[in-house]
Amino acid sequence: PTVGTGWEDQVPVRELEWEVLRVAQEQAGATRGNHLFSPWGNDASLPSSPPRALDHFLQPKPPAVNIRAIQGTQERAKLLAEERERKRRAAAAVAAREAMCKRVSEAGILGEETLRRIVHTLTALSAVHRGQSALNGRMGTKNLWIVKPSAKSRGRGIQTFREIDRLMEYVEVGEKSSSALWVVQKYMENPLLIAKRKFDIRQWVLVTDWNPLTIYFYDECYARFSAEPYSDKDEDLDKAYVHLVNNSITKYAENFHDKVIAENGVEIKDCMWNMSQLEEYLRHQNGGKEIFATHCKQRMRDIAKYALVCAQGQIEHRKNSWELYGYDYMIDDEFRPWLIEINSSPACDYSTGVTEQFVPKALSDVIKVAVDLREWENGGREGAKPEIGGWENIYKGI
């Protein structure tokens, strides 16, 4: 095989080198990088038509096969199927490259006037709807970002950064491990603190069908606290006990069992509260007003619904299956909940007294929905509609 270094020139490549190039080309961004950083001109402009497919140069051409000459129906059908699949993949690769080249060719350096209009528009929008910029709080941004390995759980590998150079260095070192994909999120800079500690809310959401999409929201949740007081100082950004609330992390802190008293006089035991304790705290701190039910719960329901509706097209429907998700929310200092992440297979162990009470009750109610209610809806059970415990059906598609 041969490889092209420009549009027309080709150089011979040995079989071993071809394999290395083929594997390297499959890495994300390799093709885009080849198109951008090319000797086509200092203005980084692209030709009007996309380059010839690198596959044409890098992959050895399969030997020609005279399908009609092959005897045997099964072998002929197999070769026909392989030929169709090869053509389909080739066409898909060409289409993807053409679309990518079109997007890249449209990119250019933003002029001063364009930048001015963008800043003006964003400022006007933020005055009407603050959106995610509210994560920075009212005092401006401290440029905090949180990085998570996409293939790990229980808080492993999570770090907080303020400087892009340190963030990129951390990710590049991490790419040498088995987990090469990362999630980078804007860090909430104005979290609501209780007893000077950061916390999140673990909320269970149940999907009993993807076609039509059917979503249930549990009426109870619980709060998970960090083991140490919150700090966004540079020297504290890498302290897991300050920034992470996962029980799999906090249980190893020396002060995990310390007696921590919240501002309303209630103890935070083992870094957890049940929903009633959280509701009472918010009520106490706001002159008896019902904050959680009126300001938080409905927004949490909406977020749960919209996130699943957005992902619906990417999920393959399997009949008679269901899925339990653990949604993690944080609340900012204006009592707005924000979705942090969605976990499949949420923890069901009795890690603290709070989960020892929550988990068995919630799991029992899962069976009521996934088994009893489904059997009744399918006509396999007579009588009144079964009770579904604490689950609320918040969405059912058409």
Domain at 246, CATH number: 3.30.470.20
Whether residue 117 is found in the same domain as residue 178? no
Cα distance between residue 85 and residue 104, in whole Å? 28
Pair of tokens at residue 39: 């000797």
Whether residue 249 is found in the same domain as residue 136? no
Pair of tokens at residue 161: 């950064």
Whether residue 183 is found in the same domain as residue 216? no
Pair of tokens at residue 343: 């976990």
Whether residue 54 is found in the same domain as residue 137? no
Say if pTM beats, i.e. exceeds, 0.75.
no
Residue 344 pLDDT: 87
Residue 136 pLDDT: 67
Cα distance between residue 133 and residue 113, in whole Å? 23
Number of domains in the chain: 4
Contact 47, 36 (CB under 8 A): no
Whether residue 76 is found in the same domain as residue 121? no
Whether residue 316 is found in the same domain as residue 366? yes
Residue 31 pLDDT: 36
Residue 49 pLDDT: 41
Residue 222 pLDDT: 97
Question: Residue 302: which residues within 8 A CB-CB, separation 6 or more?
Answer: none
Could you report the per-residue pLDDT of 221-233, keeping only the tens digit for each? 999 999 999 888 8
Whether residue 308 is found in the same domain as residue 367? yes
Residue 308 pLDDT: 93
Whether residue 127 is found in the same domain as residue 151? no
Out of 105, 129, 162, a domain closes at 105
Residue 130 pLDDT: 60
Please give the distance of CA 151 from its chain centroid, rounded to a whole number.
11
Out of 159, 187, 215, a domain closes at 187
Query: Range of 31's domain?
Result: 2-105
Question: Among the residues of the chain, which ranges form H helices?
Answer: 15-25, 30-36, 54-58, 73-105, 112-128, 164-174, 240-243, 247-250, 275-285, 291, 298-311, 353-367, 374-377
Residue with tokens 């329901």: 301
Whether residue 251 is found in the same domain as residue 307? yes
DSSP codes joined into one string, 209-266: EETTEEEEEEEEEEEEE-SS----SGGGTT-HHHH---HHHHTTSTTTTS-EE-TTS-
Whether residue 368 is found in the same domain as residue 258? yes
Residue 361 pLDDT: 95
Q: What is the pLDDT along the chain (398 residues), one digit of tens a residue?
A: 444 444 344 444 444 444 444 444 444 343 333 333 333 333 333 334 434 433 343 344 455 555 555 556 777 788 888 888 888 877 877 777 677 666 554 555 667 888 888 888 877 776 666 666 666 666 667 788 888 877 666 667 788 888 788 888 787 765 555 557 888 888 888 899 999 999 999 999 999 999 889 999 999 999 999 999 988 888 888 888 888 888 888 888 888 888 899 999 999 999 999 999 999 999 999 989 999 998 899 999 999 999 999 888 888 878 888 999 999 999 998 899 999 999 888 889 899 999 999 999 999 999 999 999 888 888 877 888 889 999 999 999 87
Whether residue 156 is found in the same domain as residue 238? no
Residue 8 pLDDT: 40
Q: Long-range contacts made by residues 51-54, C-beta under 8 angstroms, separation at least 24?
A: 51/4, 51/7, 51/97, 51/101, 52/4, 52/7, 53/90, 53/93, 53/94, 53/97, 54/3, 54/4, 54/25
The residue type at 8: E
Residue 275 pLDDT: 96
Whether residue 197 is found in the same domain as residue 313? yes
Out of 187, 218, 252, a domain closes at 187
The residue type at 229: P
Identify which of 29, 98, 14 has the alpha carbon closest to the alpha carbon of residue 60. Answer: 14
